[in-house]
Amino acid sequence: MIKLFKRYLTKYRGFVILGTILKALEVAWELLVPFIIRYMIDDVVENPTFVGDKISELLKCGGVLIALAVAGLLTTLCAQYIAARVAQAFGCDMRNDLYRHINTLSFKELDQVSTASLITRIQTDTVNMQNGVGMIIRMLMRAPIIIIGATIMCFIINWKIGFFIMGFTILLLILIYGVMIYLVPLTHRTQVELDNVTRISKENLGGNRVVRAFNKQKYEFIRFVDGQKKLTNIQTRVAIIESLLNPLTFLLANAIALLVMYVSGTFFLVGGITKGDIQAFLSYFTQIQLAVMASTILATLFAKAYASSSRVNEVLALKSSLTYGTVDKVTYNDPTIISFQNVSFKYNDKANAALENVSFTIKQGETVGIIGGTGSGKTTLINLLNRFYDVSSGSIFFASRDVRDYAPGVLNAELATVMQKAVLFNGSIKENMRRGKSGASEEEISQALKIAQASDFVAKTGKGLDYEIYQSAKNLSGGQKQRLNIARALVKNAPVLILDDSSSALDYKTEANLRHELRKLDKTTLIISQRAISIMDADKILVLDKGKLIDVGTHDELYARCALYHEICVSQDIEGAKHV
């Protein structure tokens, strides 16, 4: 946490120092008050030799007290404003950095942190830390200054009683931190039990049909009651221990105060103490008590900020494993556009090879099908071609150059990839299509929608291209999403089109139409599918199995010689040359 504070607060060092000074000033005003009251009691009211009108002197003192209150308020306002400015600027800088940093990471790094967790890091963790910064300036500085200041004041008034006050402060701190330390592991257990209850609820929502199909409502309820009981037990325990703090502080404070009274009595007899002094002690006493109590809130906040900071650090510590070259233009001199040479890849060191020694070439204008079961490495192949990851060994060439030679973004501009998972953004269909190519004309878009077999349903929405897509495209069916994704890739109009199992939700007929239209485009096209029917017309079919390229050929060739391909076709009711 210190590291992050240093990194982001150095810029605002001046403000932090100013804030601290203001806070000290604010406390100073407050610490003066009991001194003035003491003066009013001892030197005005009880002073038999006082010269002049006592009442007007008291009113003057009252005026000073009000002036101190105003000064205190103004100082605090400035301090709070500075705290807010620094905290927000801190949060803003950190968020920006995080976001930019995440953008530079390759998937190899991103895979280590789940996306949900990345989002919390940008959103929640930075806010926690920013609240921490604000609180530190506002309150953390305040508490020790008050405690130290008030103790010093007590020593000034009467050093013997000063020791009692110091003893009280120490005992109070021990009590509070003792309770807190006892509570920390319990709080952790509360979280575990709460997660359990949440999980059961989630399972029952997701599995509602199955729970009903097997008539398991009673069983599920018992499971939940059990979890909730455990949660309630631990929560109650935590709360009861927490609720001890208030009465115990009360006991401690009063016991010490009464002790001070008793000791004061003995001093009073020898003339060592005045009523003004006692009054001042009581006031400082209250101030210390309030400051210590306030610092307990700080402790929780601090713990939160600390946890957040280590999570933020984790992300910032990730270094991108991708390095880029300087070639900023793609030149197509060779008929071979894509070439894999002995490519192997592992997602991480412990994983099995996702691709092993794969070599093949694709010529411009070819349509290439890629088939294989789950885990055969089809999507990995596309990930590598897009440079979401770098090969572990071997090389990939695009237009006769290693993909690692291109400057950032150059390669991606040449590929229009449609991912397996259809993704659309919040906004109208038109805006989404223009994500493919900013400034694309409506005509281009309509043409792309037509090829992607999406014109009909877009028209049916009644709003056409202005139809708004909700978050996560909840108002579209799976098939509709896939078709819009294909359309967006077509709008991009890149030389290479890649379809990663991206028409699986379409019925056979629509898919056949789509394939027919794509064929007419005469682009280099890569089609990945689990269905043989989607790729059997391709110029070339790659058959993958467990990361290995086991055969390459046309449908007829493979049907005749490749056992796996044959098996796939048979299981999908496709016969040899029937449709070619």
- Restricting to residues 292-351, which ones interact with other proteins according to CB under 8 A? none
Nearer to other proteins, 59 or 184 (CB): 59
The residue within the footprint of other proteins, chosen from 25, 125, 132, 134 (CB under 8 A), is 134
Residue 278 binds other proteins (CB under 8 A) = yes
Residue written as tokens 């900013």?
438
Q: How far is the CB of 466 from other proteins (least distance, A)?
A: 20
Residue 404 binds to other proteins (criterion: CB under 8 A): no
Q: Which is nearer to other proteins, 121 or 346 (CB)?
A: 121
- Residue 309 or 482 having the CB closest to other proteins: 482
Among 2, 52, 100, 326, binds other proteins (CB under 8 A): 100
Task: Give the number of residues in contact with other proteins, rule: CB under 8 A.
Answer: 155
C-alpha to C-alpha distance for 31 and 66, rounded to whole angstroms? 14
* Footprint on residues 231-260 left by other proteins (CB under 8 A): 231-232, 235-236, 239-240, 242-244, 246-248, 250-251, 254-255, 257-258
> What residues between 406 and 425 interact with other proteins by CB under 8 A?
409, 412-413, 415-417, 419, 423, 425
Angle at CA 267, nearest 5°, toward 261 and 271?
130
Q: Under 8 Å CB-to-CB from 82, ≥6 apart: which residues?
A: 15, 18, 19, 22, 137
Q: Rank residues 255 and 577 by Cβ distance to other proteins and give the closer one.
A: 255
Q: Are 492 and 416 in contact (CB under 8 A)?
A: yes
The alpha carbon dihedral of 299, 305, 307, 313 has a sign of negative
CA–CA dist 474, 184 (Å, integer): 41
* Among 18, 110, 148, 166, interactor with other proteins by CB under 8 A: 110
Is residue 81 part of the contact set for other proteins (CB under 8 A)?
yes
Give the binding range for other proteins (CB under 8 A) out of 58-66, 163-171, 173-181, 399-407: 58-66
Residue 205: CA atoms inside 13 Å, Cβ hemisphere, count? 6
Total number of residues shown for the chain: 580
Work out which of 16, 25, 102, 465 binds other proteins, going by CB under 8 A. 102
| 55 lies in the site for other proteins, by CB under 8 A | yes
Q: What are the DSSP calls for 416-435, one per residue? A: EEE-SS----SEEHHHHHHT
Cβ distance to other proteins smaller for residue 65 or 299: 65
Map the footprint of other proteins across residues 357-386, applying CB under 8 A: 372-376, 386
CB of 83 to other proteins, least distance (A): 7
For the bound state, the minimum distance from the C-beta of residue 558 to other proteins, rounded and expressed in Å, comes to: 14
**Residue 51 or 55: which CB sits closer to other proteins?**
55
- Of 441-480, binders to other proteins (CB under 8 A) are 471, 477-479
Report 554-573 residues binding other proteins (CB under 8 A): 564, 567-568, 571-573
CB contact at 8 A, 245 and 183: no
- Give strand pairing partners of 317: none
Q: Is 326 exposed, middle or buried (0-12, 13-18, 19+ CB in 10 A)?
A: exposed
Looking at the Cβ atoms of 21 and 335, the one nearer to other proteins is 21
Is 385:415 a contact under the CB 8 Å cutoff? yes
Instruction: List the one residue out of 143, 145, 140 whose CA is nearest residue 87.
Output: 140
Query: At 182, is the secondary structure helix, strand, or coil?
Result: helix
Helix axes 13-39, 142-157, angle to 10 degrees: 30
**β 415-418/496-500 pair status:** parallel
Q: Tell whether residue 62 is a contact of other proteins (CB under 8 A).
A: yes
- At closest approach, how far in Å is the CB of 279 from other proteins? 5
Answer for which of 9, 31, 95, 429 binds other proteins (CB under 8 A) is: 95
Rg of the chain on CA atoms, in Å:
36
Distance CA 163, CA 433 (A): 75
